Amino acid sequence: MSTTKTKALTSDQVDKLERFISCSPDATEFAKKALIWMLRQSQGMTKTVCLTFTPDKSSLGRQVAHGVHDMRSANGSTFINRFLDELGAPMSFSSRSGYYTGKKTSLISGQRDIQAG
């Protein structure tokens, strides 16, 4: 049975996560900067943050979405979800297609996430 974690990451943990993201070979520099920006807005990964790109900036959105995917993927080398679990992070990164409407969506296993894309 999974439990929902709600304790915010400490500033030291956020710093470690920022360094971890910035060293990832699985995302572009822009994608890493966008993820770090979202992390900083999330209040220690306790607040959902959504980053939406307008159609004229969709290539940037794809960079971020692909970066999130590749950093989470077993085919990549970052394994960010494992690192987040080790930190005890209450949320994780994910990406979605479409536009954020502010409405609640059902997430697998009650997972809360920071979205990009």
Parse the chain into domains and list their residue ranges. 11-97+110-116
Query: How much is the mean pLDDT over the chain?
Result: 82
User: Cβ distance 71 to 77 under 8 Å?
Assistant: no
Instruction: Please give the pLDDT value at position 106.
Output: 37
Q: Which is nearest to 65 in space by CA: 6, 16, 110, 113?
A: 113
d(CA 101, CA 82): 29
Q: What is the dihedral of CA 64, 68, 74, 79, to 10 degrees?
A: 120
CA angle, residues 53, 59, 60, in degrees to nearest 5: 55
Q: How confident is the model at residue 98 (pLDDT cuts 50, 70, 90)?
A: low
Instruction: Please give the pLDDT value at position 95.
Output: 81
Residue 14 is which amino acid? V
Instruction: Please give the pLDDT value at position 81.
Output: 92
State yes or no: pLDDT of 87 exceeds 90: yes
- The better pLDDT of the pair 105, 29 is held by 29
- The better pLDDT of the pair 10, 106 is held by 10
Cα–chain center distance at 91: 8
Instruction: Please give the pLDDT value at position 99.
Output: 59
State yes or no: pLDDT of 30 exceeds 70: yes
d(CA 35, CA 37): 5
